[in-house]
Amino acid sequence: MYQLVPPTNRSRQVDLAEVYAYPTGARRWVRANMVASADGAATASGKSEGISGEADKRVFGVLRALADVVLVGAGTVRAEQYRPARVRQQYQEARAAAGQAPTAAIAVVTRAMDLDWTMPLFTSPAVPTIVLTATDAPQDQVDAAAEAGAEVIAAGTGEVDLALAVDRLAERGLGRILCEGGPHLLGQLAASGKLDELCLSIAPQLRGGDSMRVLAGPDLTDGLPLILHSLLTEDGFLFSRYLVGGTQGSVSEPAKEG
Ligand SMILES: NC(=O)c1ccc[n+]([C@@H]2O[C@H](COP(=O)([O-])OP(=O)(O)OC[C@H]3O[C@@H](n4cnc5c(N)ncnc54)[C@H](OP(=O)(O)O)[C@@H]3O)[C@@H](O)[C@H]2O)c1
């Protein structure tokens, strides 16, 4: 993997954990990671698998390894049969030194609670899965989730108030938040004003059709300005890291030429 922005003449491969390090000192940082085709499709036959690739999976793995918690919409959990995050030996030392659990917890956002509680995501994660739902979620499903081993957190009534959900996670010491989509969840997160960063992988392929883009749902009336922080490449993929304009926090500069 090579760095294009900021430009560098170093021929060595970049250290992904260094490039994607969370800002030092930030108590809470919300990053999203999505992959799209060159024409903006976020799904292929209802999944992201056909758009992703080997290098993208590596970035995905590193972003998970750095996070305290992975925020994901129930639609994605259902479509992709989400599994618990794996404990990767190579990151254990760094996670322990940073005071993190062996792996990121997965936090599923759902209003309907229409999930299969027998999935390994709920019954056998290394770190208990969190279910973020509304205060008026169906009680029988709340009980079923808790019985399966999930920690149920209510944030908002009628639907999950994402700004509140982010605060609830940070209060539990889960401040390094990685949103893995899908597009409807990310659209709401961006609208909530809590998104600090977007890591967007662009795959070297066209998809056509009418699949979703990486954000769906509310119109961001004035647009959300982004600042390009770094751009990497491998196998024709582009891996951009954008900071949301006006975001507070000291993000270290990637290595520059010279
Ligand atoms: N390209 C990529 O990087 C990428 C990443 C992830 C997913 N995907 C793809 O995107 C598709 C799924 O995306 P999607 O947009 O349809 O679904 P999604 O965003 O993953 O999930 C939507 C669901 O999340 C829950 N939800 C979202 N906001 C909520 C709120 N404020 N309060 C309560 N619940 C809330 C609701 O669940 P309930 O219905 O349970 O109430 C809603 O139906 C799949 O095809 C997946 O493969 C692509």
Residue-wise pLDDT tens digits, 184-221: 999 999 999 999 999 999 999 999 999 999 999 989 98
Whether residue 117 lies inside any domain: the answer is yes
**For the chain, what is the domain count?**
1
Pocket test for ligand 1, best of 70, 184, 201 (most atoms within 8 A of CB): 184
What mean pLDDT value characterizes the chain? Answer: 94
Is the minimum distance from the CB of 125 to ligand 1 under 6 angstroms?
no
pLDDT digits (tens, 9 = 90+) for 125-181: 999 999 999 999 999 999 999 999 999 999 999 999 999 999 999 999 999 999 999
- The answer on pLDDT for 38 being more than 90 is yes
What pLDDT score was predicted for residue 13? 83
What is the whole-number distance in angstroms between the Cα of residue 77 and the centre of ligand 1? Answer: 8
What is the whole-number distance in angstroms between the Cα of residue 42 and the centre of ligand 1? Answer: 12
* Among 115, 102, 19, CA closest to 63: 19
The CA-based diameter of the chain, rounded to the nearest angstrom, is 61
**Residue 187 forms beta bridges with which residues?**
none
- The answer on pLDDT for 124 being more than 80 is yes
Domain residues for 122?
Answer: 2-6+26-219
* Among 250, 234, 247, CA closest to 2: 234
Whether residue 234 lies inside any domain: the answer is no
Q: In percent, how much of the chain has pLDDT > 90?
A: 89
pLDDT digits (tens, 9 = 90+) for 140-156: 999 999 999 999 999 99
What is the whole-number distance in angstroms between the Cα of residue 182 and the centre of ligand 1? Answer: 4
Average pLDDT rounded to a whole number, residues 99-105: 97
Whether residue 75 lies inside any domain: the answer is yes
What is the whole-number distance in angstroms between the Cα of residue 224 and the centre of ligand 1? Answer: 20
Is the minimum distance from the CB of 184 to ligand 1 under 6 angstroms?
yes
What pLDDT score was predicted for residue 250? 56
What is the whole-number distance in angstroms between the Cα of residue 113 and the centre of ligand 1? Answer: 13
Atom of ligand 1 nearest to the CA of 212: 10
Whether residue 123 lies inside any domain: the answer is yes
What pLDDT score was predicted for residue 258? 45
Atom of ligand 1 nearest to the CA of 181: 6
Whether residue 138 lies inside any domain: the answer is yes
What is the whole-number distance in angstroms between the Cα of residue 163 and the centre of ligand 1? Answer: 17
What pLDDT score was predicted for residue 134? 98
Is the minimum distance from the CB of 37 to ligand 1 under 6 angstroms?
no
The residue type found at 181 is: G
* Alpha-carbon span 164 to 34, nearest angstrom: 23
What is the whole-number distance in angstroms between the Cα of residue 87 and the centre of ligand 1? Answer: 25
Neighbouring residues of 24: CB distance < 8 A, sequence distance ≥ 6? 250, 252
What pLDDT score was predicted for residue 8? 86
* Residue 25: band (very low, low, confident or very high) from pLDDT cuts 50, 70, 90: confident
Three-class DSSP category at 2:
strand
Whether residue 154 lies inside any domain: the answer is yes
* Residue 183: band (very low, low, confident or very high) from pLDDT cuts 50, 70, 90: very high
pLDDT digits (tens, 9 = 90+) for 224-254: 999 999 999 999 999 999 999 876 455 666 6
In CATH, what number is assigned to the domain containing residue 86? 3.40.430.10
Is the minimum distance from the CB of 155 to ligand 1 under 6 angstroms?
no
Whether residue 249 lies inside any domain: the answer is no
Token pair 């010491």 is found at: 173
3-state secondary structure 57-120: HHHHHHHHHHCCEEEEEHHHHHHHCCCCCCCCHHHHHHHHHCCCCCCCEEEEECCCCCCCCCCH
What pLDDT score was predicted for residue 11? 67
Pocket test for ligand 1, best of 33, 52, 59, 110 (most atoms within 8 A of CB): 110
Whether residue 165 lies inside any domain: the answer is yes
